[in-house]
C-alpha cells in the first residue's frame, strides 16, 4: 500500500527514544503508518530514519504533551486526513524526583501528573471519536510496578501510574460493550531506557532487556 491513508494508523507518544521509538519502528514494520510524537523534532527524526530503514512510514508531530491545544490540533489533523485511529500507544512519561512525599517539589509534582496522567486523558478525550471509527482499535498504556506496589521515594511517579491504570481500565469498561476498542495496560519491567538509568544510575544497562523486547510484547497484545 503506497498511500499512507490506506494503512492502519498508529500514534505513539514519547517516540524519540527507548520503548516509544522501538514500538514505533515495530508498528511501522508491521504495516502501520505511525504518528510519532515527542518534544524535539531532531530526536523524532532519528526514529523516522529507523522507520524508513525498516521499510515503514511515519509522520513527525513534535509538541509538548502539556500543550493541550496542540493535542487538540493533532486530533483535528488526524480526523481530516485519516478519519480514524487504529492504535494509540500512551508511552511518554516523566519520572520526576525520587524523594520523600513531603519534600517533593510542587513544580516537579505538577509536571509528573500533567505528563503521565492529564495529558493521557486529553489524548483519549479528543481521539475517542477516531478510535470509534476504526474497524478495531487498541489503546495501550505503559505503566510501572510502583503503580500497584508502593515504593518509598517514588510517590509522584507511582501516584501518576496508579491513576493512569485506573483511568485506562475505566475507559476500557466503558467502551468494551459498545465499540471494538480494546485497552491494554502493560508493565514493561526493567528495561534499558534513559529513565531507568536515571532511577538506577549504578545499574549495568546490559543486565536489563532492550526496548525492542517491550515493543514485541506490545505488538503481541495487539494481535487479534
Instruction: Write down all domains in the chain, each with its CATH number in brackets.
Output: 4-222 (3.40.50.720)
Task: Output the CA torsion sign for 93, 96, 99, 104.
Answer: negative
Going by the DSSP 8-state scheme, the letter that residue 135 receives in this structure is S
pLDDT of residue 98: 96
What parts of the chain have a pLDDT lower than 50? 1
Question: Which residue numbers are catalytic?
Answer: 157
Angstrom CA distances, 119 to 88, 136, 192, stand at 13, 23, 24
pLDDT of residue 2: 56
pLDDT of residue 169: 98
pTM of the full predicted structure? 0.97
pLDDT of residue 108: 97
Which residue in 71, 171, 59 sits closest to 127, CA to CA? 71
pLDDT of residue 4: 87
Amino acid at each position: 500500500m503506497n498511500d499512507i491513508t490506506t494503512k492502519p494508523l498508529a500514534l505513539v507518544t514519547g517516540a524519540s527514544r527507548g520503548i516509544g521509538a522501538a514500538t514505533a519502528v515495530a508498528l511501522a514494520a508491521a504495516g502501520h503508518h505511525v504518528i510519532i510524537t515527542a518534544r524535539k523534532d531532531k530526536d523524532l527524526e532519528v526514529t523516522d530514519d529507523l522507520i524508513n530503514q525498516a521499510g515503514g512510514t511515519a509522520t513527525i508531530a513534535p509538541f509538548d504533551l502539556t500543550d493541550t491545544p496542540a493535542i487538540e490540533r493533532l486530533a483535528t489533523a488526524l480526523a481530516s486526513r485519516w478519519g480514524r485511529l487504529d492504535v494509540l500507544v500512551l508511552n511518554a512519561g516523566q519520572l520526576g524526583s525520587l524523594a520523600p512525599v513531603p519534600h517533593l517539589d510542587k513544580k516537579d509534582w505538577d509536571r509528573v501528573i500533567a505528563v503521565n496522567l492529564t495529558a493521557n486523558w486529553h489524548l483519549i478525550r479528543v481521539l475517542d471519536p477516531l478510535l470509534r471509527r476504526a474497524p478495531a482499535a487498541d489503546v495501550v498504556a505503559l505503566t510501572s510496578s510502583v503503580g500497584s506496589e508502593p515504593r518509598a521515594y517514588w510517590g509522584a511517579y507511582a501516584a501518576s501510574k496508579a491513576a493512569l491504570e485506573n483511568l485506562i481500565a475505566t475507559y476500557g469498561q466503558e467502551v468494551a460493550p459498545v465499540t471494538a476498542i480494546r485497552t491494554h495496560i502493560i508493565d514493561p519491567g526493567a528495561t534499558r531506557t534513559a529513565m531507568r538509568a536515571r532511577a538506577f544510575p549504578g545499574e549495568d544497562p546490559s543486565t536489563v532487556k532492550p526496548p525492542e523486547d517491550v515493543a514485541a510484547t506490545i505488538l503481541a497484545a495487539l494481535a487479534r
